[in-house]
Amino acid sequence: MDDPAGPSSRDLRIVHPAHPGAHVLALHGRADASTTDGLEDDFLYATAYGPRLVVDLSGLLYGDETLLGLLVQAQKFHDVELVGPLAPSFQRRLDITGVAAWFTVHPTLTAALNH
């Protein structure tokens, strides 16, 4: 049953905190095929914003190949930096696919923005 105070852990909540010099996407919950409607649009908008995209995954409980594909696609055209700690299952997905080295993972959003 969903918590009346907010989304359940099965939902994906996307926040766009404003920061000069970078577009930030903060993902909370689960990013999988059943929850990522609209996420591609968020990535397209974010990458149109400028050359630097910071994706805060510290609130992500699970991310599947949909999220991985969006990150890889965005990395082709922009500097994409991640904020962790990453969910262990998503870190394994990055490692297994061989793309972990493509992304800088910062311990906090502040560290990423000051980089």
63 in Cβ contact with 90 (< 8 Å): yes
C-alpha distance from residue 103 to each of 74, 81, 88 (Å): 11, 6, 16
| Residue 1 within any structural domain of the chain | no
At residue 10, the pLDDT reads: 59
Place 15 in a pLDDT band, splitting at 50, 70 and 90. Answer: confident
| Residue 11 within any structural domain of the chain | no
Is pLDDT at 35 greater than 70 in this prediction?
Answer: yes
Strand, helix or coil for residue 101? helix
- For the stretch 68-94, pLDDT in tens is 999 999 998 888 999 999 999 999 999
List of residues 6+ apart from 33 with CB closer than 8 A: 64, 66
| Residue 8 within any structural domain of the chain | no
CATH of the domain at 105: 3.30.750.24
Considering its fold, how many domains does the chain have in total?
1
| Residue 31 within any structural domain of the chain | yes
- For the stretch 19-31, pLDDT in tens is 888 899 999 999 9
Structure-block tokens of residue 70: 């969006």
At residue 7, the pLDDT reads: 45
Q: Residue 93: which domain range?
A: 18-113
Alpha carbons 110 and 55: distance in angstroms, whole number: 12
| Residue 62 within any structural domain of the chain | yes
| Residue 28 within any structural domain of the chain | yes
| Residue 55 within any structural domain of the chain | yes
Predicted TM-score (pTM) of this structure: 0.87
Alpha carbons 91 and 60: distance in angstroms, whole number: 11
36 in Cβ contact with 67 (< 8 Å): yes
| Residue 101 within any structural domain of the chain | yes
